[in-house]
Amino acid sequence: MSFVSEFKEFAVKGNVVDLAVGVIIGAAFGKIVDSAVKDIIMPPIGLVMGKADFASRYINLSGKDYASLADAQKAGAATINYGLFLNNVISFAIVAIVVFIMVKAINRLRRSEAVAPTVDPAPTREELLLTEIRDLLARPQ
């Protein structure tokens, strides 16, 4: 089998399409989680920590004073942006929890499908005829 035909078979089976859909949904979900962290979760935490935007929290390593993180970054000062880092850690935690819940639900569905009893279909006409022939041949003469 040639490389091109193998790739065609791989792409047509849906693996590539499933992966693409997963990436697109993941990117959209990432934006939703990012917004939830920035706009819903972090403002109350910032309020508790001193009525400041938590994302603008940083440690200035340059020795000069700057009014904001944006000013320090514009000046090219070395900073440790622990507020932005914490936002990303919380975003990751939310995504990880949601993915865990989704995988757990999918595994539960798969287990219930595997446990479900399979019903044997009714024998076909050919199977009935073959059974009858077998029984006739097995009967003593």
Q: Which domains does the chain have, with CATH numbers?
A: 3-116 (1.10.1200.120)
pLDDT range class, residue 115, cuts 50, 70, 90: low
Residue 65 has pLDDT above 70, yes or no: yes
Helix (H) or strand (E) holding 107, with range, is helix 82-115
Sign of CA dihedral 16, 19, 21, 23: negative
The CA-atom distances, in angstroms, between 91 and each of 54, 57, 73 are 14, 17, 23
Q: Of all helices (H) and strands (E), which one includes residue 59?
A: strand 59-60
Tokens describing residue 64: 């000069």
What is the predicted pLDDT for the residue at 116? 61
What is the pLDDT at residue 117? 66
pLDDT digits (tens, 9 = 90+) for 5-39: 887 777 777 667 777 888 888 888 888 888 888 78
The confidence score (pLDDT) of residue 111 equals 80
Which whole-number Å values give the CA distances from 50 to 63, 93, 121, in the listed order? Answer: 23, 24, 69
